[in-house]
Structure 1
Amino acid sequence: MLHVIFYEPRIPGNTGAAIRLSANTGAWLHLVDPLFDMEDSKLRRAGLDYHDLAHTLVHPTWTDCLKRIPGRIYAFTSHTTTLYTQVDWQDDDALLFGPEPTGLPEAVMDDPHVTARVRIPMVEGNRSLNLANSAAIGLYHAWHTLGFTGGH
């Protein structure tokens, strides 16, 4: 089973969309504090009625999150030349994404538990994609390379 990690997410609607993504792919969604009120109406609306179908864990710290990730961790960032499509994805791998306004801090990307940095290609001069969209792009590619195991 794949894992998606949102490190200190800031926008409830993006996390709600990721909850729906988790429910529809079977991936675990890990949320690292601090974050917003999990009862936020935007989070609920974006997640629709998928909250009970998703595998979501909230971790008080990055260290606590790491204890629950059994495989490799790939940090998604624009600060690398390696594409997410160049990874030989394996079951239990994790896709790590940073907060919407800033991206992942260097200290997190430099953590020895992080296997590598990868990026999603974009038109030159653009800053970033929406967080939930980035997670969907990366997760569906990884799941595809694993033969959509567990899906139908």
Structure 2
Amino acid sequence: MNIVLHEPEIPFNTGAIGRTCVATDTALHLIKPYGFELTDKYLKRAGMDYWSKLSLTEYASYEVFLQQNRENLSAAGKVGRKLWFATTKAEQTYADVKFGPDDYIMFGKESAGIPEEILAPNKDACIRIPMWGDIRSLNLSNAVAVILYEALRQQDFAALEKKGALHRLQWEGERKY
């Protein structure tokens, strides 16, 4: 999977998203400008010691992102990697679509989301997280986790290690051999 952050503003969110990407073997793509420096202590604190393990690609603009990934992407509903746009303005939810194992999911900056100039020509690829009432949006790192884990669930968590063992003890009724 691929997570794309369009002009992220808050270093803690980007750090937390980077940590989630490492934990799920997901590539992170960052589109400039950022509201922080990649050396920001809050970004590093949120990403903990995982940041060095992150598959990270940076782009000068959305146009550069498209140019460098155009051959990898296809329109929603077509065969190939898709670019999905997470936005509160979408009609369909993230649970309404079928994610592929190499799809890209884009999220916008915390204060404004993805620009409507990007969304308007991509209505069929726009997805949202349902929310109650007049809540504007979820925290960006939470939104990424919700949608990313649904995409991974649809792939039966194929690339993720299956775990279930306790660290110090054993599950009740199991024997340690």
Q: TM-score range by the shorter chain?
A: over 0.9
* CA positional deviation for 1:110: 3.1
Aligned residue in 2 for 1:141:
150
TM (norm. structure 2) is 0.81
Note the C-alpha offset of 1:8: 0.2
1:27-42 equivalent positions in 2, closer than 5 A: 27-35=26-34, 36-42=36-42
Structure with the larger helix share: 2
Give the letter for the 2:89 counterpart.
H
> Paired residue for 1:119, among 120, 125, 128?
128
Q: What is the CA-CA distance between 1:81 and the residue it aligns to? A: 1.8
**What pairs with 1:35-74 in structure 2 (closer than 5 Å)?**
35=34, 36-66=36-66, 67-68=68-69, 70=72, 71-74=81-84
Give 1:140's aligned amino acid. Y
User: Runs of 4+ in structure 1 displaced over 6 angstroms?
Assistant: none
Q: Partners of 2:101 and 2:69 in 1: how far apart?
A: 14
The residue number in structure 1 matching 2:89 is 79
Larger Rg computed on CA atoms: 2
* Structure with higher RCO (Cα < 8 A, 6+ apart): 1
Once residues 2 and 124 of structure 2 are traced to their aligned partners in structure 1, the CA distance between those partners, rounded to angstroms, is 14
* 3-state DSSP of counterpart to 2:58: strand
Secondary structure of the structure 2 residue equivalent to 1:65: helix
User: Which structure 1 residue ranges, 5 or more long, are not aligned?
Assistant: none
Determine if contact 1:31/1:58 at 8 Å carries over to the other structure: yes
The 10-residue stretch of structure 1 (116-125 or 67-76) with the greater mean CA deviation from structure 2: 67-76
Q: Is contact 1:72–1:115 with CA below 8 Å preserved after alignment?
A: no
Query: How many Å apart are 1:115 and its aligned residue?
Result: 5.4
TM-score with structure 1 length normalisation? 0.93
Question: What is the DSSP-based 3-state SS (H/G/I as helix, E as strand, rest coil) of the residue aligned with 1:75?
Answer: strand
1:111 Cα deviation after fit = 4.9
Instruction: Specify the alignment match of 1:10 in structure 2.
Output: 9
Structure-1 residue corresponding to 2:169:
none
Q: Tell me if 1:101 matches 2:111.
A: yes
RMSD of aligned alpha carbons: 1.4
What letter corresponds to residue 98 of structure 1 in structure 2?
G
